[in-house]
Amino acid sequence: GAGVSQSPSNKVTEKGKDVELRCDPISGHTALYWYRQRLGQGLEFLIYFQGNSAPDKSGLPSDRFSAERTGESVSTLTIQRTQQEDSAVYLCASSLELAGSDEQFFGPGTRLTVL
């Protein structure tokens, strides 16, 4: 595809349910980021994948959050036992070069609403 894609675009779930969000980065991009953006707020870093290196999970807010990436392709962000404060837009971005100094291309985001 031409850009980063994310699915679903919208997800409404009940408190306590698990959700899985998917990100398809641009082909060939070695770096992949997940961010959370609450309404009217800035980007909150969650997790960073770079090639085959161990991911940087320092931004994950609790052990209910986890993410995986298969090689340099698809990534999934899983939120277990969702809470209302998890409601936000979850953005994925990918970047081409190893140095991390390149532009990040963002997907359209997944809007998560926890009732």
Partner 1 sequence: QKEVEQNSGPLSVPEGAIASLNCTYSDRGSQSFFWYRQYSGKSPELIMFIYSNGDKEDGRFTAQLNKASQYVSLLIRDSQPSDSATYLCAVNGAGGFKTIFGAGTRLFVKA
With vertex at residue 48, the alpha carbon angle to CA 47 and CA 49, rounded to the nearest 5 degrees, is 130
Q: How many residues bind partner 1 (CB under 8 A)?
A: 21
65-69, strands of its sheet edge to edge: 5-7, 19-24, 75-79, 65-69
Per-residue x/- track, 18-57, partner 1 (CB under 8 A): -------------x-x-x-----xxx-x--x-x-----x-
Per-residue x/- track, 51-90, partner 1 (CB under 8 A): -----x----------------------------------
Q: Which stretch binds partner 1 (CB under 8 A): 8-16, 60-68, 69-77, 107-115?
A: 107-115
- Provide the token pair at 17: 């349910």
Beta-bridged to residue 69, according to DSSP, are 75
d(CA 107, CA 30): 15
Among 8, 15, 61, 103, binds partner 1 (CB under 8 A): 103
Q: Shortest CA distance to 4 belongs to which of 28, 37, 39?
A: 28
3-state secondary structure of 110: strand
Q: Which is nearer to partner 1, 16 or 45 (CB)?
A: 45
Interface with partner 1 (CB under 8 A): 31, 33, 35, 41-43, 45, 48, 50, 56, 91, 98-101, 103-104, 106-109
